[in-house]
Structure 1
Amino acid sequence: MNYIISANSSWVWRRIYKVKQDIAHGFVGGDWVVQPTGYTPAGCYEWLREARPPVQWSKVVWNDWVVPKHQFLGWLVAHEALNTVDKLIQYGLEVDDKCLLCGRLEERLSHLFFECQYSMRVILTMQQTTRCQFPITLDLAWWTNRGGTTVQRGVQVALLLSALYSI
């Protein structure tokens, strides 16, 4: 812990040294300041990262029933990070603001997935085919607190995210 880094050290070594300094503040006398246990990599990681409450959508998106590429799309949707036309206009691009699927209204996230006539038909057809009903909404409170068995909840999310991915 007494090592001093030299001025000509590489970027990687300087970064490792900085992490060592951060860890030194939380590790006193062989124990973690926050939790009275000996050193473990997991304890170090938990101490270094800031404790945050879990986000509401995490169990919906990171669901074992969902294909990883659909999970990533769900993560983008939850963060409203998809590059829809309204976002492209905000970035300064000059593009037509109409939805590419229906051509009627401005394309934004909520319209693209939950209001567009084309999208609604895709999701409703999927619901009819699978006989699995759920609201066509991005209401994360509903998706987080819905009832049913683990299998029912997993299938509902997998179907919704696969439909969104298809759209």
Structure 2
Amino acid sequence: MIQNAGLKLHVSLCFHGSKQPKIPLPEWVSRIGDSEPGIYHADRSGNHYRECLSLAVDEVPVLNGKTPVQVYQEFCESFKSSFSHFFGSTITGVTVGLGPDGELRYPSHRQLASHGNILGVGEFQCYDKNMLNLLKEKAEATGNPLWGLGGPHDAPRAMS
């Protein structure tokens, strides 16, 4: 229909949900998260974001025996095989979004608040249990165990 109307399409593949508008992760992922909330991203205050898997589980088979990266790859391959004949003509761009509310986006963009500050710049994303475990492990391996306690106290915070 888009092609017949002579329109172009920029596709956004979002591997995260959002709070506004309310778009949850797929139900099958949410069911897994209900039994293992540690798969979700958490902020410095300990708030879990059920819209986003932790980056620390990317290579852990937490999704019915598959890793999130495997699931993303399979989805992208399916998208490519289904729509490749539209690439460059009707589909003129593809954006991939990850992270809580899509802050980890490729290609990246600047998300501005109404007062001109860039949202979340400088906020560390190391506060869910899996990220804290990785941070602790790496800090100890470099001989700096105190670095493994959490993000720096003076780093900017993401704005809500």
TM-score between both structures, scaled by the size of structure 2: 0.27
More helix by share: 1
More strand by share: 2
The one of the two structures with greater contact order (alpha-carbon pairs below 8 A, sep at least 6) is 2
Q: Give 1 or 2 for the bigger CA radius of gyration.
A: 1
